[in-house]
Amino acid sequence: MVEPETFTFLTDLGQNNRKVWMDEHRPERDDAMRNFTGIATTLHDYAHLFDYLVADARSKPKQSFTRFFQEPRDRIGSGLFKADVDVFANAGHPAEDFGYYLHLEPGNCYAGAALFQPSKMALARMRARLIDDPKELQDILADPEFKTDFPDGLVTRRELSALPNGVLGSDPAALYLKMVGFGCRKDVPDALLLEDDVIDLLIEIFRAARPLVRCFD
């Protein structure tokens, strides 16, 4: 599924995070992007085995993975480029709707379901959903099977230092309301991702993560 050269490119990018280096390695970048497009296509082709809504949605593989360049307002770390990529399988837009994803980062690959970088409107909808009915999410996270599949529980890539205005610390969903996007994840070894039959493992992970996606439909 993942070509060895893709992992090599991501590793080299992490060590040479400069525009001049990226410009000199455009062929390798383009090859990696073709690989991401192929992965997105594969995830959609198998979506009928983990979520019919994704299977029924229009496939847009070239728009189904994150880009390397980091906009200044969204930048994480000091690098101009991201040396990791998320490939999505969504029924909607990755910035608007919960969906399934495969995170590719040498030595730190994982898969699950999430809305990690929501738009302002999507974030508002998530918070309203949590305030109105926090119990459904709590029940999902407390389910023994979900806890076994996703031992880290709910994870986020960005967290507020304080609760949003109007939210009290006693609110049942307070812990999650500080998260600017969140999801669940399960580690996947790099070596397995080099094999075509890793799709079977990804299908299992996505099936286990489906209750989280449905919670925010």
Q: Using DSSP, state whether 69 is helix, strand or coil.
A: strand
Greater confidence (163 vs 7) lies with: 7
DSSP string, 127-159: HHHHHH-HHHHHHHHH-HHHHHH-TT-SB-S-B
pTM summary value = 0.93
Q: What is the pLDDT of residue 172?
A: 84
Strand-pair partners of 185: 112
Q: What is the mean pLDDT of residues 166-194?
A: 91
Structure token digits, residue 45:
């082709």
Query: Looking at this protein, which amino acid is placed at residue 54?
Result: V
Question: pLDDT of 71-110, one tens digit each?
Answer: 555 556 666 788 999 999 999 999 999 999 999 999 999 9
Burial class (CB in 10 A: 0-12, 13-18, 19+), 71: exposed
Question: Going by DSSP bridges, is the β-strand pair 110-115/182-187 parallel, antiparallel, or unpaired?
Answer: antiparallel
The model's confidence at residue 136, banded by pLDDT at 50, 70 and 90, is very high
Q: What is the mean pLDDT of residues 61-68?
A: 92
| Domains: count for the chain | 1
Q: What is the mean pLDDT of residues 164-191?
A: 90
The DSSP code for 59 is P
Beta-carbon count within 10 A of 178 CB: 17
Structure token digits, residue 79:
């690098």
Range of the domain at 151: 4-215
Structure token digits, residue 41:
């296509």
Q: What does the mean pLDDT of the chain come to?
A: 93
User: Looking at 24-38, 60-74, 124-138, which range is the least confident one?
Assistant: 60-74
